Amino acid sequence: MRLWLEQRPERSRAMSVISPLIAIALTVIAGAIIFAASGLDPLRALFIYFVEPVTTLWSIEELIVKTAPLVLIGVGLAVCFRANIWNIGAEGQLTVGAIAGASVPILAPHWDSFLVLPLMLLLGTLGGMAWAAVPALLRNRFGVNEILTSLMLVYVAQYLLDWLVRGPWRDPGGYNFPESIEFQAWQSLPTLGAGRVHLGALLALIAVALLFVFMARTLKGFEIRVSGEAPRAAAFGGFSRSRTVWLCFGISGGLAGLAGICEVAGPVGQLQPSISPGYGFIAIIVAFLGRLNPVVVLLAGLVLGISYLGGESAQIVLGISGKTTQVFQGMLLFFILACDTLIRYRLRFGRRPGAGTAGAEQAP
Amino acid sequence: MSETSTDPGYLLEAIGIVKRFGDFTANDEVSLSLRPGTIHALLGENGAGKSTLVKVIYGALQPSGGELRWRGRPVSVANPAAARRLGIGMVFQHFSLFDALTVAENIALALPGAFDREALAARIVEVSQEYGLPLAPDALVADLSVGERQRIEIVRCLLQEPRLLIMDEPTAVLTPQEADQLFVTLRRLAGEGCAVLYISHRLEEVKRLCHHATILRHGRVTANVDPTQETAASLARLMVGADVHEVRTEARESEDAVMLAVSDLTLPAEGPFGVRLHDISLEVRTGEVVAIAGVAGNGQTELFDALSGERLAPAEASVALAGMPCGGQGITARRRLGAAFVPEERLGHSALPSLELSDNVLLTRHASDAEMVHAGFVDRPRTREVSERVVRAFDVRTSHPNPQASALSGGNLQKFVLGRELDRSPRIVVINQPTWGVDAGAAALIRQALIDMARAGAAVLVISQDLDEIFEIADRIAVISRGELSGTHAANSIDREGIGLLMAGAHETGAASGERAP
C-alpha cells in the first residue's frame, strides 16, 4: 500500500479552483504551527494577522492601497506566465517606471498643467516597458534566459534609483536626506474619497477588465495561451514566438512601470531609495494564486495585501519580526505550486497497476 | 571465454513472445535464438515490432505471453537492472547522456554501487583502447560528436562485461566512416564470445556484418535467414512482404495543373538527430495522390516542416504552392494559398490537448477563414459551429459536444484534425503519417477522405511508412531515404520489392531510380 499520483485525462477544473484554497488553508495551518513554536497563542496571532486588518474602515482603505500595485503588476505577470515567459523582474520595471514618471515633476517642478499627471503616467508605463524590453531583446536575439536577465536588471534599476536620489535628483532643500523634492498636488494622483485610496486602485480595476477581455476573447490572447502551452503547436498555428515574447514583456513591464509611478505619485509622494516593499516580487505570488486569470488575480491581490498589513500589525501588537510577512508569502507560494499538482494528477492509495513496469510502458 | 565457446546451446532464446498494447499486438508469437559469439540481425520496417521485442528482452517491457530462456534456463527479466545483472547490455538509438558532465562522470552514473574515480578513468581508457573506441574520460559530453557519444554508451555497456549486447539502429546517427569503425568493434566483441543483437533496416550493412537475421513484419517473424546468402532484394521482399497487392490507379491526365512543386530543396540537418534534406524535387498535380514512402527518421519530418513553412527554405523558388513560389513564407501565408497541413504528431503539434475542439479549430484557421476573427476578437459561436460540423462529418466520437482534445482517442483526434483541414476545401493537402497510431476503422475513413479529396480536385501529398496504405491510396510513389528523394513511379509500375530497395537507399548513390518491376 502506498500513495501515488495518477494522471487525469483532462485538467480538473474543480481542482484549479480548490487548489489555491487548500494552499491558503495549509499556509494558515503552517503559520499557526510557527506561532505556537514561537510561544504565541496561535489563534490570537492568526486573528491579529489575518482578520484584524479588515475590521476598520481605515485599515480596509490601507488594504486597497497595498492591493492596487499588486493587482496592477500581477495581472500583467499573469499574461506573461500564461505564455511560459518568466518575467521575474517586475520590481525593476516598477522602479524604472517610477523614475521615468517622476522625471517630470523633478525636472520641471514649476510646470503646472493638467497634462503633467497624464504625462507622468505615460512615461511611467513606457519606462517599465523599456526596462522589460531588455530581457525580451536578449531572449529573442541571443536566446538568453529571461529569468536571469529580468531578475538581475532589478538590482541595476534599484542602484540607478539610489544614485539619482543621492546625487543629481536630491532635494536641495532636503537637509541632505536621500530624497527628491516632494510632489505638488497637480503632480500627484487624486484620491478617491477622503482617505488614502488613490487613482491607482481604479487603474488596477481597469487593467483587470481589459486583460480579462484580451485573454478570453481576442486572437492575441489565444496566441499567448497556445504559445505557452505548446510552442510547436503555436508555430503550426502560424504564431511567432518572438512576437509573443515582445508582447508579454511589453504588457507586464508597462503595467509594472505604471504601478511604480502610481506609488511615487500616490502614497510615497516623492522618489526615495526604497519605493516598494517588494510589490514586483510578491505580484508573482499574486499571479499564481490568481490562477493566471485576471479576475481571480484581483482576489489574490487582496490576500497578499492582507499579508502585508497583517505582518505590520503582528509586528506592532505581538512584537514579532517583520520578516514574518515574507515567511507567510513564501509559504503561500510553496503551497500553491505543490497543490497545483492536483490539477493534472489525482491522489491514489494502494497498489499501482502493473507496479514496477508502469513507468516504462509505452506504445511501440 | 572457453566456457561459452564449448557450450553448443543458445545464449538467449525468446519463445513465442507476445506483447499487446490494448487491442494492438506489437509482437505476435515471436521467437528468436541467439548463440554466443554471433552477430544476429533483427530486421524489419518501423512498426514491425523490433523495438518492442528488444525492450522485452531488456526488461523495459513485460511480455503478455511467451518465455525467455537465458543459457537454457527460463528467466523473467523484471527490469533493465535485472537484464544487466544477467549480462545483457543495450545501446539505445537516442542516448541518455548529460551534456554538462564528463565522459567518466556519465559512465559512473550508470554503474551500480560506489566507484573510484581514478580507477574508473583508467578502466575507461583501457576498455576504449582495447575495442578501438577512443575516448578521453575528462572530455565534456557537450563537446563530443554523435559518434563519440555513442562510444560512451558502448563503453558503458562493455564495462559491465556483457554476454549479450543489443544495438538499436546504431548506424542511424553515424557517418559511414564511424559505422565502419563500429563494425570492427562489434566483430571483435563477437570474436570474444559476446553475442550481438543488431537492429537495423539497412540491408547492405546487415549483409556485411551479421551471421544470422530474423525478419519481422507486422509483429510476426517472417523468416530466419543467413544474410550473407541473401541479396538485398530478397531481404527487402521479406521485410516489406511479397504479397501481391491489387493496385487501383487510373493514370492521371498529365496536363493537370501542378499545385505543389518542390525544386532542388536542400536544407542542413538541425541538431544531432536531424536529417539533412538534399536536392529534393517533386511535383503534385490536381486530382492525384502522391505518396512518399520511407522508414521513419529519413527526413520525413524535415520535409513536412519545409513544405508547411514551419521551417523556411533559403530560396523562395524551392517550394511553390498553387504556382506561387513561397519557400521563404511562413505557414499562414501558405495556408492562404489554399494549402492544408496535417503533421504526424497530434498532441502538441496539430492539436493542443488542453484546449477545447473549437479552440483547436481556431489554431489553424484563424487566418485562412476570414469570418473566424473580427477586429482581433474571436467569433466563438463560429468556431463552435465549424467544430461541430467537423465532428459530424468525420464521425468523431466525443463524450460531450466540445471536449478538450486530450479526451479524444488517437483515431478520433486524427479524424478531427484531418476534418478540420479538409472542411476548408483546400486545394493542396500535405499529410505526414496519416494513420499513425490510429485504429483500423478510423484509418479506413481517413484514407477514403484523402482519396475523395483528390478526386474532387485537390493535390494530395501523403508521407507514410505504411506500404499497404500507400498502395491503397497513391497514384504515384516516391521514396525518401537519408534525406534524399527518389523519382516518382506510377503506383502500378512499381512493386514492394522495388520500394524496399529504394528504402534501403538504392537511389542515394546517384542511380536515378530503383529497380523497376517488369
Residues B55 and B169 reside in one and the same domain = yes
Residue A322 pLDDT grade (very low, low, confident, very high; cuts 50, 70, 90) = confident
CA A350 to chain centre: 40
**Residues B163-202 as b or e (16 or more Cβ within 10 Å = b):** bbbbbbbbbbbbeeebbebbbebbeebbeebbbbbbbbbb
Chain A hits for B350, Cβ within 8 Å:
233, 236
The CATH label, of 3.60.60, 1.20.120, 1.10.3470, 2.60.120, for the domain at A3-349 is: 1.10.3470
The Cα B399–Cα B14 span in angstroms is: 42
Contact of A358 with chain B, judged by CB distance below 8 Å, is answered with no
Chain B interface test: which of A16, A219, A247 (most B C-beta within 10 Å): A219
Asked if B14 and B100 sit in the same domain, the reply is yes
Average pLDDT of the residues in A195-199: 89
Q: How far apart are CA A215 and CA A221, in angstroms?
A: 4
**CA–CA distance, B65 with B256 (Å, rounded to integer):** 53
Is B365 a domain residue? Answer: no
| Minimal C-alpha gap between A291 and chain B (Å) | 15
**End-to-end Cα spacing for chain A:** 30
Please state at what angle helix A116-142 crosses helix A146-166, rounded to 10 degrees.
140
Q: Which domain holds residue B436?
A: 258-347+426-503
Residues contacting residue B186 through CB under 8 Å, at least 6 positions apart: B39, B165, B167, B196, B198, B209
| Interface residues on B facing A, Cβ-Cβ cutoff 8 A | 21, 24, 26, 47, 49, 51-52, 55, 60-62, 78-79, 308, 310, 330-332, 335, 341, 343, 345, 348-352, 354-355, 359, 362-364, 366-367, 373, 376-378, 380, 403-404, 406-407, 437
Do B205 and B297 fall into the same domain? no
* B42 and B125 housed in the same domain: yes
Q: Do A363 and B21 touch (CB under 8 A)?
A: yes
Assess if residue B355 is contained within a domain: no
- From B352, B380, B406, residue closest to A9, measured CB to CB: B406
Whether B353 is in a domain gets the answer: no
- By Cβ distance, the residue of A9, A357, A360 closest to B407 is A9
Q: Tell me, yes or no, whether B213 and B264 share the same domain.
A: no
Q: B236 lies in a domain?
A: yes
B143/B21 same-domain check: yes
- The mean pLDDT values, 10 residues at a time, for chain B of 518 residues are 50 91 83 92 80 90 90 89 90 83 88 79 88 86 81 88 89 73 90 91 82 89 89 77 46 71 92 84 93 86 94 92 93 94 92 92 90 91 94 87 85 92 94 84 87 91 88 92 90 83 67 37
Based on the fold, state whether residues B318 and B436 are members of the same structural domain.
yes
Orientation angle between helical segments B380-393 and B410-422, nearest 10 degrees: 110
Nearest 5 degrees, angle CA A296-CA A298-CA A302?
Answer: 115
| pLDDT tier at A164, thresholds 50, 70, 90 | very high
* CB distance B265 to B279 below 8 Å: yes
CATH number at residue B174: 3.40.50.300
* Residue A143: other Cβ atoms inside 10 A: 8
Contact yes or no for B310 and A230 at CB 8 A: no
Give the number of other Cβ atoms within 10 Å of residue B250's Cβ.
Answer: 10
CA distance A224 to chain B (A): 12
**Nearest residue of B to residue A239, measured between CA atoms:** B332
Q: Which of B270, B257, B363 is nearest to B311 (CA)?
A: B270
CA dihedral over A172, A174, A180, A181, signed as positive or negative: negative
More confidently predicted of A108 and A319: A108
Q: Cβ contacts (< 8 Å) between A224 and chain B: which residues?
A: none
Q: Check if the beta carbon of residue B284 is closer than 8 Å to that of residue B461.
A: yes
Instruction: Examine the domain organization and report whether B186 and B301 are in the same domain.
Output: no
- Count of structural domains, chain B: 2
In sequence order, what DSSP letters do the residues of B198-259 get, joined into one string? EEE--HHHHHHH-SEEEEEETTEEEEEE-GGGS-HHHHHHHHH---------PPPPTTSPEE
Distance from the A340 Cα atom to the nearest Cα atom in chain B, whole angstroms: 15
Residues 297-356 of A with CB under 8 A from B: 354, 356
- Give the nearest partner residue to A233 out of B24, B78, B363, using CB atoms: B363
B18 & B125 share domain? yes
B389 within domain boundaries: no
- With respect to residue B415, please indicate whether it lies within any of the assigned structural domains: no
Inter-chain CB pairs, A–B, below 8 Å: 90
Beta-carbon contacts of A182 under 8 Å, excluding residues fewer than 6 positions away, are A171, A269, A270
Residues B179 and B313 in one domain: no
Check B377 against A235: CB less than 8 A apart: no
Interface contact A236-B21, CB threshold 8 A: no
pLDDT tens-digit readout, A68-84: 999 999 999 999 999 99
The grid coordinates listed for B52 are: 518492442
B397 in a domain, yes or no? no
Rg (chain A; Cα; Å): 22
Cross-strand pairs, B261: B283, B320
Cell numbers standing for residue B459: 493535390
**Which residue in chain B is spatially nearest to A9 when comparing CA positions?**
B407
Query: Is the model's pLDDT at A108 over the cut of 80?
Result: yes
CA dihedral (A301, A302, A307, A309) in degrees, to 10, reads 120
Ramachandran angles phi, psi of B460, nearest 5° = -120, 125
Tell me the one-letter amino acid at B391: V
Q: What count of other Cβ atoms lies within 10 Å of the Cβ of residue A2?
A: 9
| Contact yes or no for B348 and A237 at CB 8 A | no
| Chain B residues near residue A229 by CB distance under 8 angstroms | 352, 354-355
* First-residue to last-residue Cα distance in chain B: 51
pLDDT of residue B400: 82
CB contacts of B345 in chain A (<8 Å) are 232
Q: How far is A299 from chain B (nearest CA, A)?
A: 25
> Which residue has better confidence, A207 or B1?
A207
Q: Are residues B158 and B19 in the same domain?
A: yes
Residue B409 lies in a domain: no
pLDDT of residue B251: 47
State yes or no: pLDDT of A51 exceeds 60.
yes
Residues B120 and B232 in one domain: yes
Give the pLDDT confidence score for residue A103 in this predicted structure: 96
Closest to B349 (Cβ–Cβ): which among A232, A354, A364? A232
